[in-house]
Amino acid sequence: MKVVRHDGSDERHAVCALVHSPEVLAAVSAAWDTESFASKYANILARWCVDHFVKYGEAPGIGGITAKFDTWKDIADSTIVDTMADWLASLPAMSDMTPDYAIDLIRNIVQRNSIKRLGNALTNLAETGKVEDALNIQAQWKRPKIGQEESGVFPLADLSVVERAFDQSTKKPLIEFPGALGEFFGDVMSADSFVSLLAPEKTGKTTVLMDLAWRAVAQGRRTAFFSCGDMSQDQVIQRLLPRLCKRPLKGGRFMIPTELAYENKEPKIVREPKSAPPITKEDAVKAFASSAGADPKRFRLLTHPAGTITAKDISNQVNRWADEGWVPEVIVIDYADILGAPIGLREKIEQIDHTWRELRAMSTRMRCLVLTASQSDTEGYTAWLLTKKNFSDSKTKVAHVTAMIGLNMTESERRQNICRYNYVALREAEFMQDKPAYVAVAGCTRVGRPSLISCWPND
């Protein structure tokens, strides 16, 4: 992986990860060097973290580092102590970076600094005529190896590898739903996952993606929403306003579902009529302000016209954010089919494969959930449930996702704001074996909530 941006701040983010993450320390401690960082203060803090991990098998945290500092400051130079105190004061209470990304960042920093030291040594020796010494140093230099890289791991010897895998499997999903829809999703909306919706044109893909994005935000997840179609930034905000204000943008009468059942492929729905005035500017500002909570920067919005941003552009952008200390847990892309074509590829099937492969790689590299959508073929308009036969353009889309979810509705269901979700493709599908083939969902699109209630069918 390539980290794009480098300055003094990257070492601060790296140190923060070492202070808080035992996974990061487990990956870097064996090969750690006292001069791995360019900053001597970062090197001191990193050494404390590594020593603490070697002795206790855990990250020191703010408490452990502070205790070490209190002992060290009595014997250290006062000017160094003052600067170190500033470093400690600026350390966040937790690291926003995923362990994998932090390890990649640290590896890049360590290798960059090692190359710089080698270059300086070679230049100094060459300028003083010590060419043979310069050649010997060059021959002896080895690329620092941090983390797994080429050496791999030893799960039989390093049991933290097993513990980490188990911890990952038992983590809560990044987006949770109540009722039958929550049972349907299980842990599909989890870290390391790449999930796509599949639906015909004009069947609410964007509405569902925005619903998923805002559920993530409301549940405290750092969420990035890339709008890559025909909506401007203002239009995306306007689409979000009904959801935040719980009423239509222009007011009026609307229907909220309160009960839903499905028997013999026919829905039975009870809806409650409501009415509300239009949303004012004051309402809009208040709604967003009240949603800020403890982390007002957990939602990030980017808008691009269709075809002007590629999957690689998105990946590079996410890398830059991570270098700055903002690592998204959920990335929503509306939507993959209208991203720009990768440079250098002419065949459409190759372009699609490259795009979806890049999005999958981003989900694993950043340890995040990536959500997008894709358009089905023309037969998808009449299919009762979408299947793998209903993909458009390239079957490799199905190969790259961890789950593909079909959005199915008849014209009657569309008018009632009812949709049926099914799995077109799903890895690790054991949890669905004893469940029906689909789940029914009802909502109110006028208030931006397509999934207010849900039920399993009784067919």
* Cα–Cα dist 373/376, whole Å: 10
286-299 mean pLDDT: 91
The predicted pLDDT at position 342 comes to 87
409-437 mean pLDDT: 88
The predicted pLDDT at position 6 comes to 40
Is residue 179 helix, strand or coil?
A: helix
* Cα–Cα dist 188/173, whole Å: 7
243-248 mean pLDDT: 94
Is residue 231 helix, strand or coil?
A: coil
Return all residues near 449 (Cβ < 8 A) that are at least 6 apart. Answer: 211, 243, 443
Q: Please check the confidence at residue 5 and state whether its pLDDT lies above 60.
A: no
* Cα–Cα dist 339/228, whole Å: 7
Pairing of strands 449-455, 438-444: antiparallel
pLDDT band, very low/low/confident/very high, at 1 (cuts 50, 70, 90)? very low
Nearest to 65 by CA among 100, 89, 96, 83: 89
252-262 mean pLDDT: 95
Nearest to 27 by CA among 152, 191, 114: 152
CB 362 within 8 A of CB 319: no
First-to-final CA distance of the chain? 49
Domain coordinates of the chain in residue numbers? 8-165, 171-455
The predicted pLDDT at position 2 comes to 38
The predicted pLDDT at position 224 comes to 96
53-60 mean pLDDT: 88
For the chain, give the mean pLDDT: 87
Give the DSSP per-residue string, 317-333: HHHHHHHTT---SEEEE
Rounded to 5°, angle at Cα 99 from 95 and 100: 140
The predicted pLDDT at position 95 comes to 81
The predicted pLDDT at position 152 comes to 66
C-beta neighbour count of 1 within 10 angstroms: 14
Domain 171-455 maps to which CATH number in 3.20.19.10, 3.40.50.300, 1.20.210.10, 3.55.40.20? 3.40.50.300
pTM, to two decimals: 0.74
Stated length of the chain: 459
The predicted pLDDT at position 438 comes to 93
* Cα–Cα dist 423/195, whole Å: 11
CB-hemisphere CA count at 13 Å for 355?
A: 30
Alpha carbon 26 to its chain's center: 23
Q: Please check the confidence at residue 118 and state whether its pLDDT lies above 50.
A: yes
pLDDT band, very low/low/confident/very high, at 4 (cuts 50, 70, 90)? very low
Q: Please check the confidence at residue 180 and state whether its pLDDT lies above 90.
A: yes
Nearest to 226 by CA among 288, 149, 150, 315: 315
Q: Please check the confidence at residue 459 and state whether its pLDDT lies above 50.
A: yes
258-262 mean pLDDT: 94
* Cα–Cα dist 19/50, whole Å: 9
Q: Alpha-carbon dihedral of residues 321, 30, 94, 194, nearest 10 degrees?
A: 50
> 381 versus 128: which is more confidently predicted?
128
The predicted pLDDT at position 147 comes to 66
Phi, psi at 71, each rounded to 5°: -80, -40
Q: Please check the confidence at residue 168 and state whether its pLDDT lies above 70.
A: no
Phi, psi at 35, each rounded to 5°: -115, 35
Q: Please check the confidence at residue 401 and state whether its pLDDT lies above 90.
A: yes
The predicted pLDDT at position 218 comes to 94
221-231 mean pLDDT: 91
**Hey, which of 166-170, 235-239, 294-298, 340-344 has the most confident mean pLDDT?**
235-239
274-291 mean pLDDT: 95
Look at 53-57, 174-178, 209-213 and tell me which has the smallest mean pLDDT.
53-57
> 31 versus 124: which is more confidently predicted?
124
Q: What residues does 453 pair with on adjacent strands? A: 442
Q: Please check the confidence at residue 146 and state whether its pLDDT lies above 90.
A: no
Return the sign of the alpha-carbon dihedral for residues 92, 97, 98, 103.
negative
Q: Please check the confidence at residue 100 and state whether its pLDDT lies above 80.
A: no
Q: Please check the confidence at residue 355 and state whether its pLDDT lies above 50.
A: yes
436-446 mean pLDDT: 94
Question: What are the C-alpha distances in Å from 163 to residues 26, 51, 295?
Answer: 12, 21, 30
Amino acid making up residue 326: W
pLDDT band, very low/low/confident/very high, at 7 (cuts 50, 70, 90)? very low
Look at 68-72, 312-316, 387-391 and tell me which has the smallest mean pLDDT.
387-391
254-272 mean pLDDT: 93
pLDDT band, very low/low/confident/very high, at 148 (cuts 50, 70, 90)? low
pLDDT band, very low/low/confident/very high, at 422 (cuts 50, 70, 90)? very high
The predicted pLDDT at position 3 comes to 39
